[in-house]
A and B are shown apart, each in its own frame.
Chain A
């Protein structure tokens, strides 16, 4: 290697002293020089790895001696030497423009991050991108069309074919009729979830590739600071609108454990997944007041719980640092590929589960277990002011968020759920339990203790809030 980087002489001395101490058997891919430098910068992983070694105290001594002889911190001195060389090389090998040139669309960047113009832009994105495209078009027009086609064309045919071929009522119910694999499981997946998730992923891919999301982080940073999160965490939260499971995994990108816990909680509690969002927007769009109540309650809970969690979860507020990539004109092919891959992943995930859910319900009905649980849930439904027919929907929601959302659509179209009840059900179902897949990822990422705490809080909170909302709406005599 031609350009070896040399550090100030006390550091170089320390490096060679540490190098000579290191064990021959050390199983590392990287050079001793690197290891020595990492130790001088007090790298936690490497320190815990070497803690047991007999020469570790000696290393500790070298590090503190070297530090004592330097005016600035070792980490800083090392970074500075590196930075100097990197800059010198850059000077040498690049031709930089005379004056700082910026991208032609710099003004657009300014518009998106300045609060005065940024917030209206965000409102436009939400209105057209999410509400009109995903909610009204995806969750309304498309779902109604495909769902209607299923109900009028496919289900009757399936029912009669199954009735003709299969002689046993038990097996008939497994495949067709009210809770069958084809008539319920596949119908939910294809007719309700598919159109919504497709429109959402399309819109989301467009936002992603344009570079809008990091700018949104910048815009929201100040607001998020008040709830103990940095602007950085807006990305997992927005991803959560697609699928909470995916988003829980992405909370890894957050800096502190504290931020990760708060973000996981908010994802489990307040962020609806795309199927829920689409169904709710689609159903409530006919009644603007209902939509307004739902949205206000969600935003209020998001901020309120975020604020409280920010106060209660120990740790320091994270500082915000993020690369802001340039705004780019998204390429259609890239967006379509990405949407397709996501859809494939999503359906690979849910279709077996939806089918499994149908089987489970069928088995539960057969053994009477399903009815038992539903009957237990019925008083809760009445307590929330909901019809007792809503109980199975909540049970589905336990299983999969999107499944519960699809169930809500069914209830509404059969005229059982309307007005105030619809609002209460929408709020409770949004808040209610993260689905099984999300729980699994929470276990994986946050550990059992945190997950149990978050999950039990979420369930209790969802039902109490649903109850209070119902009472409040009754007292206020709001009619939808």
Chain B
């Protein structure tokens, strides 16, 4: 690829129309198809009940069941959307606490990020329990997965008197961080902008 479709892209995005044709196959055999495609796959991961499914619904405009208890999602859901002119596939995963799974549904998410080609991992955490949840963030950083941290439920945290310094956190971890209240759609635009940055700036290959 000679054009990286960077921010100040000098050329119009050429590939979009062409890849639509391949869109059919990509749903069934994700693994084989998108190693060579310009399509971006983004996985939402995190502890149970932090709002991954709600965020997935907001990002993709589809609906997967959202509830207020851990373990609502037991299988991976896929949803497509277009960000920055590119087709982006979001994956909603069952919750996991750590890279070492305890229950069956936790291993679903782990297998996904370990074995399948995921271009970006969005780790969603609950702002109320940041310290406890950063454990997994640290493991994902260790794994050198391209990572974006979403600190969700910032509204509930503020009610408890907890304030999170987004920039400081991003600086300490060395990854982009977005604070959100997904149920109120607060921070959604910021998140999409960050994802767009990523989609536009990466050569989109699966080797890092």
Taking beta carbons and an 8 Å cutoff, which residues of A are in contact with B? 1-5, 27-31, 33-34, 37-38, 41, 43, 45, 79, 82-83, 85-87, 89-98, 101-103, 205, 208-211, 213-214, 235, 249-250, 252-255, 260, 322-323, 325-326, 328, 330-331, 334, 337-338, 341-342
Of the candidates A38, A103, A252, A334, the one whose C-beta lies within 8 Å of that of B66 is A334
Are B69 and A34 in contact, with the CB atoms below 8 A? no
Q: Which of B48, B118, B130, B175 has the most CB atoms of chain A within a 10 A radius of its CB?
A: B130
Bound form: Cα–Cα A295–B174 in Å: 58
- Chain B, 54-77, contact with A by CB distance < 8 Å: what is the 0/1 string? 000000000101111111101100
CB B129 to nearest CB in A, in angstroms, measures 9
User: Which of chain B's residues have a CB closer than 8 A to the CB of A322?
Assistant: 70
User: Which of chain A's residues have a CB closer than 8 A to the CB of B17?
Assistant: none
Closest 4 CB pairs of A and B: A97-B161, A90-B131, A2-B174, A86-B134
Are A83 and B114 in contact, with the CB atoms below 8 A? no
User: Which of chain B's residues have a CB closer than 8 A to the CB of A3?
Assistant: 141, 172-174
* Interface CB pairs A-B, < 8 A, 6: A33-B144, A34-B139, A91-B131, A208-B69, A214-B69, A326-B156
Are B48 and A323 in contact, with the CB atoms below 8 A? yes
User: Which of chain A's residues have a CB closer than 8 A to the CB of B107?
Assistant: 45
CB B191 to nearest CB in A, in angstroms, measures 18
Bound form: Cα–Cα A213–B67 in Å: 10
Q: Which residue of A lies closest to B130 (CB)?
A: A90
Q: Which residue of A lies closest to B183 (CB)?
A: A331
Evaluate whether A249 and B47 lie within 8 angstroms (CB atoms) in the complex, with A93-B165, A255-B102 already known. no
B40 at the A/B interface (Cβ < 8 Å)?
no
Are B163 and A94 in contact, with the CB atoms below 8 A? yes
B145 at the A/B interface (Cβ < 8 Å)?
yes
CB B57 to nearest CB in A, in angstroms, measures 9
Bound form: Cα–Cα A249–B110 in Å: 19
B99 at the A/B interface (Cβ < 8 Å)?
yes
Are B160 and A97 in contact, with the CB atoms below 8 A? yes
Are A325 and B69 in contact, with the CB atoms below 8 A? yes
Are B134 and A95 in contact, with the CB atoms below 8 A? no
Are B100 and A29 in contact, with the CB atoms below 8 A? no
User: Which of chain B's residues have a CB closer than 8 A to the CB of A342?
Assistant: 65
Of the candidates B138, B145, B160, the one whose C-beta lies within 8 Å of that of A29 is B145
Are B99 and A34 in contact, with the CB atoms below 8 A? yes
Q: Which residue of A lies closest to B64 (CB)?
A: A341
B142 at the A/B interface (Cβ < 8 Å)?
yes
Are B161 and A101 in contact, with the CB atoms below 8 A? yes
Taking beta carbons and an 8 Å cutoff, which residues of B are in contact with A? 47-49, 63, 65-72, 74-75, 94, 99-100, 102-105, 107, 110-111, 113-118, 130-135, 137-139, 141-145, 156, 159-165, 168-169, 171-175, 183, 206
Are A325 and B173 in contact, with the CB atoms below 8 A? no
Evaluate whether A38 and B163 lie within 8 angstroms (CB atoms) in the complex, with A31-B143, A208-B69, A253-B71 already known. no
Q: Which of A3, A103, A209, A337 has the most CB atoms of chain B within a 10 A radius of its CB?
A: A3
Are A94 and B165 in contact, with the CB atoms below 8 A? yes
Of the candidates B49, B160, B169, the one whose C-beta lies within 8 Å of that of A103 is B160
User: Which of chain B's residues have a CB closer than 8 A to the CB of A43?
Assistant: 99-100
Of the candidates A33, A86, A328, the one whose C-beta lies within 8 Å of that of B135 is A86
Evaluate whether A211 and B68 lie within 8 angstroms (CB atoms) in the complex, with A30-B145, A86-B138 already known. yes
CB B133 to nearest CB in A, in angstroms, measures 8
Of the candidates B71, B102, B133, B171, the one whose C-beta lies within 8 Å of that of A235 is B71
Of the candidates A1, A98, A213, A337, the one whose C-beta lies within 8 Å of that of B144 is A1
- Other A-B pairs beyond A30-B114, A252-B103, A337-B63, 12, CB < 8 Å: A29-B116, A29-B117, A30-B144, A82-B139, A92-B172, A95-B161, A103-B160, A211-B69, A250-B74, A331-B183, A334-B66, A338-B67
User: Which of chain B's residues have a CB closer than 8 A to the CB of A253?
Assistant: 70-71, 74, 94, 103-105
Of the candidates B74, B114, B163, the one whose C-beta lies within 8 Å of that of A95 is B163
Evaluate whether A86 and B144 lie within 8 angstroms (CB atoms) in the complex, with A95-B163, A252-B105, A328-B68 already known. no
Evaluate whether A31 and B144 lie within 8 angstroms (CB atoms) in the complex, with A2-B171, A210-B68 already known. yes
Bound form: Cα–Cα A1–B170 in Å: 11
Of the candidates A98, A249, A325, the one whose C-beta lies within 8 Å of that of B49 is A325
Are A101 and B69 in contact, with the CB atoms below 8 A? no
Bound form: Cα–Cα A5–B173 in Å: 10
Bound form: Cα–Cα A95–B135 in Å: 19
Are B162 and A95 in contact, with the CB atoms below 8 A? yes
Are A252 and B104 in contact, with the CB atoms below 8 A? yes
Evaluate whether A89 and B69 lie within 8 angstroms (CB atoms) in the complex, with A38-B99, A252-B104, A325-B49 already known. no
Q: Which of B103, B107, B156, B159 has the most CB atoms of chain A within a 10 A radius of its CB?
A: B103
Bound form: Cα–Cα A38–B174 in Å: 23
Are A37 and B142 in contact, with the CB atoms below 8 A? yes
Are B104 and A83 in contact, with the CB atoms below 8 A? no
User: Which of chain B's residues have a CB closer than 8 A to the CB of A28?
Assistant: 114-115
Are A93 and B99 in contact, with the CB atoms below 8 A? no
CB A100 to nearest CB in B, in angstroms, measures 9
Bound form: Cα–Cα A92–B135 in Å: 15
Bound form: Cα–Cα A338–B105 in Å: 22
